[in-house]
Chain A
Amino acid sequence: MVLQPSKPGLALETAGAWLLAALWILPLAYAFWTAFHPAEYATRFDLFAPLTLQNFRNAWEAAPFSRYFFNTIVLVAMILGAQLVLCTLAAYAFARYAFRGRDVMFVLVLVQLMIMPEVLLVENYRTMSVLGILDSLPAIGLPYMASAFGIFLLRQTFKTIPAELEDAARVEGASALQILLKVYVPLARPVYLAFALVSVSFHWNNFLWPLVVTNSVHSRPLTVGLQVFSSGDQGIDWSIITAATIMTTAPLLIAFLLFQRWFVQSFMRAGIR
């Protein structure tokens, strides 16, 4: 290879890169330390400090985390399911149908890339209250179901699929819906995967809008549940709070560690337009 740093230069850069990585992982490592050790070791480092799961047990018993987990999983699945259907249909129309007003519609869709639902939270709260669905999972999910980002991403992908494939299928007598399901969707599979990963991690982590629109255990997702928990009476017991924090992020973190390559590639793919 060419244009590589000199030997001492490379050593210096390697050291810098690793130092930065250590700095980046430090907060997490510290959180893990605190969560897995008794409270008296929370801020004291001792290699032989006893390991414990008691903090997790305490956290799990102190708040209805099982319900929060259930809510988040249902919420994320509901949003993703709706997004996949709605965005696929719309993207197909934008990519392959020359209907009147298409370009204006498309610009109107793109507006959502700039104005995310959380920016309009006061007005959307009012809408949910008029619809009578405040404090419910659909209220959290509805504003995100028609994702401009998803529509845009899929439209770009569908446009790259040769029209000859569609013509061939049509000659064979396939209907529009069959063409969509048998030709377009399978060919766009990597993009669907990318979109799904980005969507799931976004909605697993989303906080402000769910905070506003929920006010009971029945609809609170994990993020809001965690906030209610850690700003409550437990306010000072850091061991339990970090345990709860790690617990709520664990599924996503484990999935990320297992499918790291996919995650990174998905975020990359989603970012390139």
Chain B
Amino acid sequence: MSADGSRRFAANVHGWLLVLPAAALLVLFTHYPTVATFLRSFFSTAKGARGSAFVGVDNYRQMIDDPIFWQVLSNNAYFALGTIPVSIGLALLMAIWVNGRIAGKGWLRLAYFTPTVLPMIAVANIWLFFYTPQYGLFEQVLSAFGVPAHNFLGSKDTVLTCLIIVAIWKEAGFFMIFYLAALQQMSPNLAEAAAIEGASRWHFFRRVTFPLLMPTTLFVLVNAIINSFRLVDHVVVMTRGGPDNASSLLLYYIYEVGFRYWDSAYAAALTMVLLALLALFAVGQFLFMDRKVHYR
């Protein structure tokens, strides 16, 4: 073997050895379970003496006939639509304020960012207290204005909105950070040039700042979508999906089916839907990224 050949051989061996420990764990806890979930979704759940059997697409058929599945899916869509635009808009506003000339910027940044550091479960506990009938802060404020008592988390009409408010509060400060990073990298020459041209501030924002922030917006958007499907801690703490599944989200339903009803086959089929959705968003991001969104 030539010296060059043995060198390449060594690079192969070293490279693989370095990657191997991480790769083994990734295969065991990401790739294998993904494939196993896919396969399991075509089998029945083993119950007692009756083992698991191949049932074709029965689990998926059950899913299509399952009104809770459709409700959970629409809840999740509603939750995402309610959370994402508002939290991204607020994040942008916060970033512009914190990046500007407002007095006490440091304190503002601290206030906006703090919810991000707290565990969702602690946050949910605090908000649970807010929403409590009779005691809660909301009830007290509203009753001061003569609004009749209302059980916010106990009512199908308001429960999801309550969760949306918590999620917005928790996430806006996190997204602000990314906008802030992007704003700080922007050249001040742009603003100077715009000032010489006599552009208004709003015009500058709409024609320069916002388009230049497009990659950040996209990054934040994808993260926000993934989070809205991945994070259900607040559902566990505040509502357990109730009342009557009005606040159940897809992952929470998977958790319920998997660990309360122990129906792992049906949970596998539901997980496949979640995985398909996540893959869809990832592909979407990839396609968008390629088109260099920021220069129209």
Contact = CB atoms under 8 A, between A and B. Distances in A.
Interface of A: 1-5, 10, 13-14, 16-18, 20-22, 24-25, 27-28, 30-31, 34, 42-43, 85-87, 89-90, 92-94, 97-100, 102, 105, 108-109, 111-112, 114-127, 142-143, 145-146, 148, 151, 176, 201, 204-205, 207-208, 211-212, 222-223, 226-227, 230-231, 238, 241-242, 245-246, 248-249, 252-253, 256-257, 260, 263-264, 267-268, 271-273
B204 A3 contact: yes
Contacts of B125: 226, 230, 241-242, 245
A256 B114 contact: yes
A17 to B, nearest CB: 4
B268 A123 contact: yes
Contact of B26 (A109, A230, A263): A109
A211 B236 contact: yes
Interface of B: 8, 11-16, 18-19, 21-26, 28-34, 36-37, 40, 90, 93-94, 97, 100-104, 107-123, 125-127, 129-130, 132, 135-137, 140, 169, 173-174, 177-178, 180-181, 191-192, 194-195, 199, 201, 204, 219, 226, 230, 232-233, 236-237, 251, 254-255, 258-259, 264, 267-268, 271, 274-275, 278-279, 281-282
A121 B169 CA distance: 27
A135 to B, nearest CB: 14
Nearest to B250: A119
Q: Which 9 A-B pairs have the closest CB atoms?
A: A99-B15, A97-B15, A2-B195, A205-B119, A123-B33, A93-B18, A146-B25, A21-B111, A122-B258
A223 B124 CA distance: 11
22 contacts: A13-B102, A43-B135, A93-B16, A93-B19, A97-B15, A98-B15, A111-B31, A114-B282, A119-B275, A122-B254, A122-B268, A122-B271, A125-B258, A146-B22, A146-B25, A205-B118, A226-B122, A231-B237, A245-B125, A260-B110, A260-B113, A273-B219
Contact of A245 (B12, B15, B34, B126): B126
Contacts of A16: 97
B37 A267 contact: no
B188 to A, nearest CB: 8
A119 B274 contact: yes
A33 B110 CA distance: 19
A142 B195 contact: no
Contacts of B100: 4, 13
Contacts of A25: 111, 114
Given A115-B34, A121-B258, A212-B259, A242 B129 contact: yes
A231 B128 CA distance: 11
A264 B195 contact: no
Given A3-B199, A92-B18, A143-B25, 10 more contacts: A3-B204, A24-B115, A24-B173, A90-B19, A97-B15, A112-B26, A119-B278, A122-B264, A268-B181, A272-B181
Contact of A142 (B13, B25, B107): B25
A127 B28 contact: yes
Given A24-B115, A114-B278, A252-B117, A120 B29 contact: yes
Contact of A20 (B94, B204, B271): B94
Majority SS at the chain B contact face: helix
Contacts of A145: 25
A86 B21 contact: yes
Contact of B180 (A14, A112, A268): A268
A122 B68 CA distance: 19
Contact of B23 (A146, A222, A242, A256): A146
Given A25-B114, A121-B255, A245-B126, A89 B94 contact: no
A194 to B, nearest CB: 12
Contact of B22 (A17, A89, A256): A89
A264 B99 CA distance: 13
Nearest to A205: B119
Contacts of B204: 3
Contacts of A249: 118-119, 122
Nearest to A93: B18
A25 B108 CA distance: 10
A119 B122 contact: no
Nearest to A147: B22
Nearest to B223: A271
Contact of A148 (B26, B107, B199, B264): B26
Nearest to A131: B28
Contacts of A2: 191-192, 194-195
Contacts of B114: 24-25, 28, 253, 256
B261 to A, nearest CB: 11
Nearest to B113: A264
